[in-house]
Amino acid sequence: MSKFNSDKIIPRYSVIAIAMTLMAVAIICKAAYLMTVKRDYWMQVADRVKKDSVTVKPTRGNILSCDGQLMASSLPEFKLYMDFQALRNAKNDSLWEAKLDSICMGLTDIFPEKSQEAFKEHLEKGRTMQARHWPVWERRVDYNTFTEVKALPVFRKSAFKGGFHFEEFNARQRPYGSLASRTLGTMYGSKDTARFGLELSYDSILRGKNGFIHRRKVLNKYLDIIDTPPTDGADIVTTIDVSMQDLAERAVIEELKLINGNVGVAIVMEVQTGDIKAIVNMEKCIDGVYREVKNHAVSDLLEPGSVFKPISIMTVLEDGYCDTTKMVDTGGGVWPMYGREMKDHNWRRGGYGPMRLPRSLEVSSNIGVSRIVDEYYHNNPEKFVEGVYRSGVTSDFHIPLKGYAPARIRMPKKNKRGQWLNWSNTALAWMSIGYETQIPPISTLAFYNAIANNGKMMRPRFVKSVVKDGKTLMEFPPEVVPGKEQICSERVVKLMQTMLEHVVSQGLGKKAGSTSFKVAGKTGTAQISQGAGGYKSGVTNYLLSFAGYFPADAPRYSCIVCIQKSGLPASGGGMSGVVFHNIAEGIMAQDVKLDAKDAKDSTSILVPDVKKGNIIAADYVLSHLGYKPRKDWNGSFIGNNPVWGEATSQDANNIQLRRERSSSKHLVPNTFGMGARDAVFLLESRGMKVTLLGRGKVISQSIAPGTRIKKGARCILTLK
């Protein structure tokens, strides 16, 4: 007899089958409901957990100096925030209260500008407001500082437990600070948008190309899936020489401070290539500090004054109207010119009287140059202006800097009746000495560079090449200005070179000269027009210039210095010429190779005193002087006997003294009077962090000497 009882089993299976069928129907109905009625809602939910085509910013390319030094680069910066609601939700309020003092103490060590009490008050205010995005520090910080803050109590926890979070920015940094800042350019804050300078001109190269990713949320985590990887920007190699730029800036600022000048410009160009090695644009701001605000070197369309005179003389000689034996009478320093008086700078002392053409350039005689030009071109001024155009000073150099404008010199025009439309009887005379023209300093320099280059005018070059990953993608070779392979005959070039050399050796440009090498150039002092007010509106402003090249017998560099100042005294040779002298001597000194042994005093057997600092540098110098000084157990120089060896009994007192001093390693040292390198070495060797302000030697330190050192403490050194 079978044990299977169908009367009991079948009903049970029927119930199970019916229940499963109903469940299947319910699932199908629910799915249909979700697919129809609730479709829009769940599509919105899906959009919240996925993102398509998310832009990934590339790393912006670097700007390098001519020898590959980093002048502008993109580095990460961070804004630090606290989410106090996340802290409360994670039930970590008690932890916050217990660690608040430690957090504030750590923040004060990292940011010494703000006290521990101020940090505590600031953070407690955010906690009271239950802010979700409360700034821990008001400014951006670099990566090293970010890691220090993130290591503090509570902050080291995840954002959901501790509340600490941050925003990352791809910020532009310049290792050399404000050096050539107006030429290099800058960015608009956190935006990846260039403002001016080479950053703007080469933005398409530096920027790179955006990449794209899409994001999916899987198991409560976002996964980034790369669709198109970003293409990082390429680097541009400029022609700027860091040492020359620094030298030129310091020379300009020193003179501006001395004479209370308003604007100072200096450009250094390599003669053979046209490379711009340095370009300075200092302007006095409302707080009295000189900064680069505008690129005056390429955008100031001003009347250049007497630095224009060589163009006038060259035009006369090239057209063959006279030679260097030409005599001109300048009278007593005042000469009537068609109803106006032309004056020389020494008119109160009786003028120069008769002189030859080269002498009129040496002493910068307004009367001499203007009378010569007026004699030959008064009835045909178009020919003179054509000669000026031929000199190349009006060429458009296509300078890759925002604000650049080529020189503007008007061509005389007549109407159908033969009457002048834009000309007067005095126009030619005053144009010949640099008035009634608008020429930026860089155009004037290009002319003088062409004279130094035997008549070949080079286009000013700012960028040499584009490189990426060690490979050169583009090159920008030196370029001759089209049609200016020879701005005048070789004979006239040689005459101009001789006359410009004599301006410095026996004329008004003596202060620009050097006893070590020959210099050629021309001074310039011009009144600056005040627009509708003319030249006599209120205080008279002057443009003081010196343009030239060096060494005159084998030109390597050309340079122009322009200073704008208000009131007298005002002298192109005595002020701008001095800056030119300092720049020229500094540049040429960089090439002088001296042997350290030449500094050794043969009459002395003593080892020079060595102060505390970087012992490697001191050892290098002493070794090259022929000394091998002994060092004690502490690595310090001892004794006067120039041999290696252990400290002897005669140095016992010295060793004991140094041992006593070793106990002071836990105290802040005195760095007053030290150079930056030694001061930083001494402080960092004791575990401190250093911030430098200024250049030169230490004149103050934020933490007093003798203070006990706190690990990670930051000391701010002011140098001058």
pLDDT digits (tens, 9 = 90+) for 555-579: 999 999 999 999 989 999 999 999 9
Query: In 319-380, where does DSSP find H-type helix?
Result: 357-362, 366-377
Count of CB atoms within 10 A of residue 431's CB? 25
Instruction: Sort strands 698-701 and 520-527 into parallel, antiparallel or unpaired.
Output: unpaired
At residue 443 the predicted structure's pLDDT band, cuts being 50, 70 and 90, is: very high
Q: What is the pLDDT of residues 331-355, one digit of tens each?
A: 999 999 999 999 999 999 999 999 9
Cross-strand bridge partners of residue 270: 557
Among 100-114, 497-511, 523-537, name the most confident range. 497-511
At residue 667 the predicted structure's pLDDT band, cuts being 50, 70 and 90, is: confident
What is the rounded CA–CA span in Å between residue 181 and residue 187? 11
**pLDDT for the residue numbered 175:** 84
DSSP per position, 496-546: HHHHHHHHHHHSTTGGG--SSS--EEEEEEEEPP-GGGTT-SSSPEEEEEE
Cross-strand bridge partners of residue 74: 172
**pLDDT for the residue numbered 652:** 45
**pLDDT for the residue numbered 642:** 38
Q: Residue 451 in contact with residue 497, Cβ under 8 Å?
A: yes
H helices then E strands: how many in the chain? 23, 24
Range with the lowest mean pLDDT among 19-23, 43-47, 291-295?
Answer: 43-47
Count of CB atoms within 10 A of residue 187's CB? 19
**pLDDT for the residue numbered 656:** 45
Query: In 273-323, where does DSSP find H-type helix?
Result: 296-299, 309-318
What is the rounded CA–CA span in Å between residue 547 and residue 264? 14
At residue 484 the predicted structure's pLDDT band, cuts being 50, 70 and 90, is: very high
**pLDDT for the residue numbered 600:** 57
Q: What is the pLDDT of residues 40-71, one digit of tens each?
A: 777 776 665 556 667 778 888 999 999 999 99
DSSP class of residue 405? -
**pLDDT for the residue numbered 408:** 94
Q: What average pLDDT does the segment 466-476 reach?
A: 93
Instruction: Report the amino acid identity of residue 48.
Output: R
Q: Residue 100 in contact with residue 88, Cβ under 8 Å?
A: no
DSSP per position, 548-564: EEESTTS--EEEEEEEE
**pLDDT for the residue numbered 603:** 54
Range with the lowest mean pLDDT among 252-266, 359-373, 607-621?
Answer: 607-621
Q: What average pLDDT does the segment 166-177 reach?
A: 82
Count of CB atoms within 10 A of residue 3's CB? 4
**pLDDT for the residue numbered 639:** 43
What is the rounded CA–CA span in Å between residue 684 and residue 689? 6
Q: What is the pLDDT of residues 378-394, one digit of tens each?
A: 999 999 999 999 999 99
Angle subtended at Cα 294 by Cα 293 and Cα 299, rounded to the nearest 5 degrees? 175
DSSP class of residue 574? I
**pLDDT for the residue numbered 536:** 58
Has residue 292 got a pLDDT over 90? yes
- Cα distances (Å, whole numbers) of residue 338 to 374, 402, 464, 629: 11, 41, 50, 79
Q: Please give the model's pTM, rounded to 2 decimal places.
A: 0.73
Q: What percent of the chain has pLDDT over 90?
A: 51
Provide the 3-class DSSP secondary structure of residue 342: strand
**pLDDT for the residue numbered 663:** 47
Has residue 624 got a pLDDT over 70? no
Which region, left, alpha or beta, applies to residue 636 given φ > 0 means left and ψ of -120 to 50 means alpha? beta
> Is the model more confident about 10 or about 441?
441
At residue 304 the predicted structure's pLDDT band, cuts being 50, 70 and 90, is: very high
Strands (E), 312-403: 327-329, 334-337, 340-343, 354-356
Distance of CA 132 to the CA centre of its chain: 39
Q: If residue 242 lies in a helix (H) or strand (E), which one and from where to where?
A: helix 242-259
Has residue 303 got a pLDDT over 80? yes
Which region, left, alpha or beta, applies to residue 130 given φ > 0 means left and ψ of -120 to 50 means alpha? left
Range with the lowest mean pLDDT among 83-87, 142-146, 455-459, 712-716?
Answer: 712-716
Q: If residue 492 lies in a helix (H) or strand (E), which one and from where to where?
A: helix 490-506
Has residue 475 got a pLDDT over 90? yes
What is the rounded CA–CA span in Å between residue 141 and residue 78? 5
Range with the lowest mean pLDDT among 77-91, 447-461, 481-495, 604-618?
Answer: 604-618
Place of tokens 């299976």: 13
